[in-house]
Structure 1
Amino acid sequence: MGLRSGGQRFLLALFGIGLFASALTSAQTEQAHIAVKVQGTKLEEPSDYFTTLLIMALNASKAENEVIDIVFSERDYAQARWINMLQHDKSNFVIWTMTDKEREKQLRPIRVPLFKGLFGYRVLLIRKQDQVRFDKVKTLNDLGKYIGGQGTQWPDTPILQSNGLRMTTAETTELLFRMLNAKRFDYFPRGISEAWFELLQRDEPDLAVEENLLLYYPAAIYFFVNKENEALAQRIEKGMEILIDNGQFDQFFYNHPRFSSGMEKLKNRRIIYLQNPSLPPETPVNNPRYWIDLKRE
């Protein structure tokens, strides 16, 4: 009886080990869903440059059993609100914005420029009827006779002002488009990844990209996370480096409408150079791995 009981216990033990091993194997292969919040809204989901690139980077650096779930914002906010939200949110939350010294103190930057440094090249959105007026602009002093429009909390605004340009400000891009149409200011500087792309998306029959001028100041747009979420920062950074190494970043960048819609229209423009006193010294402006310099092209 004792021997049979011992044998039964032994068989039960083996059976238990088998169940444990089976459960462990199942747990190892079970998909782990990782939620990542972004500043993009659901309306931007199909073609948003930044969200798509972020997903590519996170997928490049994830484990085999991980699934990245992007959580879109229910509404859009002014840039200052996004930054404030991220400062107080230690979860997996990512925003994208132009860098400056103050933002790199507040947030954790992933220092891979998302537009290869081209974010510092600016064309001017104007009212179509004003092209004749802007044909006379040859220098920074000439441009200073007109009034531009910029976001209240955008880092571009103090850059432009520090170079002697007069700016009228508003909280959102939508409001700035309305103000330009209403003749509240004369021009709206936009990145070459933004200007033509935005005009294609919007019904703005009275606006156009000014034909002759190109502003330039060194600037980069990065992904940012909360300063205490180093794990997420490193995963995004690793993913971006993988995409650069395997060529997927260049393929995505050069073929995306935000880039292709603008680059072909930059030839023979007069470049007006500006200083950027807010540029962090760590910005990789001299590293061709991350930075395109149109002035040398």
Structure 2
Amino acid sequence: MVFGILLSILAGTAQCLAEVRNTSYQPPPLQEYILWYRNYDSPAIRALLELALKKTPEYGDFRIIRSEEMGQGRVLRELAHGRTRLIDIANVASSTERESQLLAIPIPIDGGLLGFRVCVVLPHSLPLFEGVRTVEDLRDRGIRIGQGLHWPDTDILKINDIPVITHTRYELLFRMLRNDRFDCFARGVSEVMFDLAIENDPELVIEPSIMLAYPMPSYFFTSPYDYLTAHRVQLGMERAILDGSFAQFLANYYGKAIETLALDRRTVIVLKNPFLSEESRMVGRQTLDNLQRRLQLLSQ
């Protein structure tokens, strides 16, 4: 009887193995990822997401899709609710609130450069910045800085007692600058060259002597319910760090901007940012502490 049972088990095992051999491998279906249009239109950000997705082929082929045009506030609401499929991934500056409401991939997409800001100004405003060395100088001269209404920078500037003029649409801030609604449109050193290339306006110039600096890492975020996408992007970025392709990405996309902006010769004005989680605060502090070394590496 025992022998008969063994024969039955062996026969069943053989049948299962035959079925496995006769079943062809089915790769995962094509995955479509809807990226916020502002990020999609940025060659650097789109390239980094593509790099991370390519590093994770076990998740299947992919296609990155441009989202409909919407402001940053709505992007964050759509991701947090997770009820519609208007957007899957967005790259924005981090804050405690954002990290509590969304899934963050806690790797700064630009090596931490977003918290280093230079001023886009009109030529007639340049004398206003001559001799500025401290936060107190900015305040005393009444320099007004333009920022997006929902950007963490706005709260950072306000808590440092710097006048801020805001709007919900990024594109309209350049129009407001041209109309002298504010004196400086503070842009991250990792994005300002791209911004000006898109605007293609010779009346917009970069103030040459100062740089605002505050800890503010910029992460990819997904819906709090989309663990699969968050895990894929984080795994891909970690693999890119390990094999050196992330460092090459930083040099390719930001090295020229570092050199052009001459950041190592600017006066650095450090602002406090109390709106970060402990993890992001540590990342931001390390970025500020290693500023000179990062500039040297990226400009090589």
* Fold match by TM threshold 0.5: yes
Query: Partner residue of 1:3?
Result: none
Question: Could you tell me how far apart the structure 1 residues matched to 2:290 and 2:71 are?
Answer: 30
**8 Å contact from structure 1 (residues 108, 233) kept in 2:** yes
**8 Å contact from structure 1 (residues 150, 169) kept in 2:** yes
The amino acid across from 2:82 in the alignment is D
Query: Partner residue of 2:283?
Result: 285
Matches within 5 A, 1:9-20: none
Query: Partner residue of 1:52?
Result: 47
Query: Partner residue of 1:255?
Result: 252
CA deviation after TM superposition for structure 1 residue 194, in Å = 1.5
1:127 correspondence with 2:125: no
**TM-score, length basis structure 2:** 0.83
CA deviation after TM superposition for structure 1 residue 183, in Å = 0.5
The amino acid across from 2:65 in the alignment is V
Matches within 5 A, 1:139-150: 139-144=134-139, 145-150=142-147
CA deviation after TM superposition for structure 1 residue 165, in Å = 0.2
Structure showing the higher helix proportion among its residues: 2
1:210 correspondence with 2:204: no
Q: 1:89-116: per-residue Cα shift (whole Å, max 9, x none)?
A: 2668111100001101110101011011
Q: 1:211-231: per-residue Cα shift (whole Å, max 9, x none)?
A: 100111011000001112222
1:68 correspondence with 2:68: no
1:245 correspondence with 2:242: yes
Deviates more, 1:259-268 or 1:239-248: 259-268
Query: Partner residue of 1:270?
Result: 267
Give the gaps of 5 or more residues in structure 1. 1-16
Structure showing the higher strand proportion among its residues: 1
Going from structure 1 to structure 2, the CA distance change for 1:236 and 1:194 (only over 3 Å counts) comes to same
Q: CA RMSD in A?
A: 2.7
CA deviation after TM superposition for structure 1 residue 262, in Å = 3.4
Give SS of 2:89's match.
strand
Question: Could you tell me how far apart the structure 1 residues matched to 2:65 and 2:82 are?
Answer: 14
CA deviation after TM superposition for structure 1 residue 267, in Å = 2.5
Matches within 5 A, 1:1-297: 21-22=21-22, 24-25=23-24, 28-30=25-27, 32-40=29-37, 44=41, 48-63=43-58, 66-73=60-67, 75-89=68-82, 93-144=88-139, 145-256=142-253, 258-264=254-260, 265-283=262-280, 284-285=282-283, 293-295=290-292
Query: Partner residue of 1:10?
Result: none
Q: 1:229-260: per-residue Cα shift (whole Å, max 9, x none)?
A: 2222111111110000000011111111x452
Question: Could you tell me how far apart the structure 1 residues matched to 2:211 and 2:27 are?
Answer: 52
Question: Could you tell me how far apart the structure 1 residues matched to 2:275 and 2:39 are?
Answer: 32
Question: Could you tell me how far apart the structure 2 residues matched to 1:190 and 1:164 are?
Answer: 19
The amino acid across from 2:99 in the alignment is E
Going from structure 1 to structure 2, the CA distance change for 1:119 and 1:84 (only over 3 Å counts) comes to same
Give the gaps of 5 or more residues in structure 2. 1-16, 295-300
**8 Å contact from structure 1 (residues 116, 291) kept in 2:** no
The amino acid across from 1:131 in the alignment is L
Q: Return the index of the structure with the highest Cα Rg.
A: 1
Number of residue pairs aligned between Structure 1 and Structure 2: 275
CA deviation after TM superposition for structure 1 residue 200, in Å = 2.0
- Taking only the aligned residue pairs, the percentage that are identical comes to 32
**TM-score, length basis structure 1:** 0.84
Going from structure 1 to structure 2, the CA distance change for 1:232 and 1:115 (only over 3 Å counts) comes to same
Question: Could you tell me how far apart the structure 2 residues matched to 1:123 and 1:148 are?
Answer: 11
CA deviation after TM superposition for structure 1 residue 296, in Å = 5.3
**8 Å contact from structure 1 (residues 116, 292) kept in 2:** no
Question: Could you tell me how far apart the structure 1 residues matched to 2:108 and 2:288 are?
Answer: 7
Question: Could you tell me how far apart the structure 2 residues matched to 1:281 and 1:138 are?
Answer: 29
Going from structure 1 to structure 2, the CA distance change for 1:43 and 1:293 (only over 3 Å counts) comes to closer
Give SS of 2:196's match.
helix
The amino acid across from 1:81 in the alignment is R
CA deviation after TM superposition for structure 1 residue 291, in Å = 8.3
Going from structure 1 to structure 2, the CA distance change for 1:106 and 1:295 (only over 3 Å counts) comes to same
